[in-house]
Amino acid sequence: MNIKFLGGAGTVTGSKYLITHENQRVLVDCGLYQGVKKLRLRNRGGFPIDPKTINAVILTHAHIDHSGYVPALRKNGFKGPVYCTKGTYDLCKILLPDSGYLQEEDARYANKKKFSRHSPALPLYTEKDAIESLKLFKPVQYHKPLDVANQITATFTPVGHILGSAAVQISAGGKTITFSGDVGRTEDLVMRPPEPLSETDYLVVESTYGNRRHDETDPFEFFKNIINKTMERGGIVLLPSFAVGRAQTILYIIQLLKERNEIPDVPVYLNSPMAITATEIYCNHHKEHRLTAEECEKIDKDTHFVRTPEESIELNNRKYPSIIISASGMASGGWVLHHLKALLPNHRNSVVFVGFQAPGTRGDAMVNGAEQVKIHGAYHPVRAEVSQIDSLSAHGDYVEILDWLDQSNINPKQVFVTHGEPVASDSMRLKLEEKFGWKVEVPDYGEEFNL
Ligand SMILES: [Zn+2]
């Protein structure tokens, strides 16, 4: 067996790990590069091996940095099955077409501004390409070993990161290699903790938080405070949020605070078509996480789902206190921009960012105290109260991951640390060596190893 690192090495995006055994090739994760331009250009660079020669793709979960290259792989000749859990498949049904739509938007924008080196600029793939690629998907069950290629089997186990997320153990030629995927939290409000791994010869483990710990802000206290303060001022609380996972956690927190009478019974608006669909998908799969059918029903009853741009615009004119959850999470696009324009200039309102804000985004500028932000070509004063909570991350930090591996009671011959910025991955390497005495490697992009 041979492994080649085609992404997720030296960075947290673009995850792609190629396993070759005899003449068979299986690609574990097929993610898009995101973030800085140098990495994004790799999406365009063509695939390092002929996609026609890959027998199957396996996805650990639906996030675009793990699934978003599937439509491009298919466009370039890949015809095999894409194996993933049912939850991942359902989320990919909304995330991949949206990714195609965004690629088309970018190309349209580049053509309008004429800044592309290619004329005309073409999308990496379209919404239609993404919908076509979904036909290759074959949803599988957790815990059931599955033949994914000749003499190669794969087994998925829950890993608590988002709905459908899995660690995957590949077995070929009498050897096993386990991919952690993105690992969830020990104590998440919605997802259950990651399940311990089975014995494995080799391990590939993520390191997003390889050198950091999460802050321990109690989300209930945090939201109780900010919501009550804003309601007393007669203002609106705006929560720019990621549509999948984070929005559902916030709805759940608000629901519980209302039930405990810790905040007033104000209207809650979920204003993002993708977050609405994601909430429905989470509720359809309620057996896979901590939210019960009853809790889902309560959230459904208590939330106003905003489905049209007219309703969305109308929300800004309300004269009574309310809570609005809208995408995108870093205020880089989406319907949340219209709310920001309307709500930022008034000191009565609050804007709460509920996760990491990438450098260069409007969210980052606002949490760092920007006095004005540019939206749709014009500057808007920031007078609303801006705050941020960082403790709702969907990634375990290094202490949580080390505990999980400790509970797994495994003894791999070699470990590969991936999916981290270089400093984080190296810090994770040292911690694994120190705690377990394992042989640990941080692979470079394009590096391969015979196992
Ligand atoms: Zn992820």
Pair 183, 259 in one domain: no
pLDDT in tens, 309-357: 889 989 988 888 999 999 988 888 888 999 999 999 999 999 999 988 8
Non-local (6+) Cβ contacts of 70 within 8 A are: 30, 57, 59, 82, 92, 96, 133, 136
Pair 301, 195 in one domain: no
Residue 117 has pLDDT above 70, yes or no: no
Domain boundary among 341, 364, 388: 388
Distance 61 CA to ligand 1 centre (A): 7
Distance 184 CA to ligand 1 centre (A): 9
pLDDT in tens, 36-74: 778 888 888 889 999 999 999 999 999 999 999 999 999
pLDDT of residue 359: 78
Q: What is the DSSP string of 105-144?
A: HHHHHHHHHT--SSSS---SS-HHHHHHHGGGEEEE-TT-
| Domain with 182 in it | 2-212+394-450
Pair 399, 303 in one domain: no
Residue 135 has pLDDT above 90, yes or no: yes
Distance 38 CA to ligand 1 centre (A): 21
Pair 72, 206 in one domain: yes
Pair 51, 174 in one domain: yes
Pairing of strands 322-326, 202-206: unpaired
Distance 344 CA to ligand 1 centre (A): 30
pLDDT of residue 392: 92
Helix (H) or strand (E) holding 250: helix 246-259
Distance 350 CA to ligand 1 centre (A): 28
Residue 35 has pLDDT above 80, yes or no: no
C-alpha distances in Å from residue 267, one per residue of 104, 231, 316, 321, 322: 35, 11, 13, 8, 5
Distance 128 CA to ligand 1 centre (A): 24
Pair 310, 352 in one domain: yes
Residue 358 pLDDT grade (very low, low, confident, very high; cuts 50, 70, 90): confident
Distance 4 CA to ligand 1 centre (A): 21
CATH of the domain at 245: 3.40.50.10890
- Residue 308 DSSP class: S
Q: How much of the chain exceeds pLDDT 90, in percent?
A: 84
Pair 21, 113 in one domain: yes
Distance 87 CA to ligand 1 centre (A): 13
Across the chain, mean pLDDT equals 94
pLDDT of residue 337: 92
Mean pLDDT over 112-126 rounds to: 79
Mean pLDDT over 245-272 rounds to: 96
Distance 182 CA to ligand 1 centre (A): 5
Distance 395 CA to ligand 1 centre (A): 8
Mean pLDDT over 213-236 rounds to: 96
Domain boundary among 388, 404, 426: 388
Pair 224, 352 in one domain: yes
Distance 233 CA to ligand 1 centre (A): 37
Distance 224 CA to ligand 1 centre (A): 28
pLDDT of residue 73: 97
What's the CA gap between 39 and 436, in Å, rounded? 33
Pair 225, 345 in one domain: yes
Look at residue 375 and give its three-state secondary structure. strand
CATH of the domain at 205: 3.60.15.10
pLDDT of residue 121: 84
Distance 12 CA to ligand 1 centre (A): 9
pLDDT of residue 132: 98
pLDDT in tens, 381-400: 999 999 999 889 999 999 99
Residue 156 has pLDDT above 90, yes or no: yes
Closest CA to 65 of 193, 182, 194: 182
Residue 118 pLDDT grade (very low, low, confident, very high; cuts 50, 70, 90): low
Q: Are 5 and 446 in contact (CB under 8 A)?
A: yes
Distance 198 CA to ligand 1 centre (A): 22
pLDDT of residue 413: 98
Domain boundary among 337, 369, 388: 388
Distance 310 CA to ligand 1 centre (A): 33
Q: Are 438 and 415 in contact (CB under 8 A)?
A: yes
pLDDT of residue 115: 64
Number of domains within the chain: 2
pLDDT of residue 116: 63
Pair 166, 190 in one domain: yes
Q: Report the number of secondary-structure helices (H) and strands (E) in the chain.
A: 14, 22
Distance 162 CA to ligand 1 centre (A): 7
Which token pair is 132? 């076509």
Distance 249 CA to ligand 1 centre (A): 15
Pair 297, 423 in one domain: no
pLDDT in tens, 410-436: 999 999 999 999 999 999 999 999 999
pLDDT of residue 59: 98
Residue 104 has pLDDT above 70, yes or no: yes
Distance 8 CA to ligand 1 centre (A): 12
Pair 208, 223 in one domain: no
pLDDT of residue 38: 81
What's the CA gap between 85 and 143, in Å, rounded? 10
pLDDT of residue 361: 85
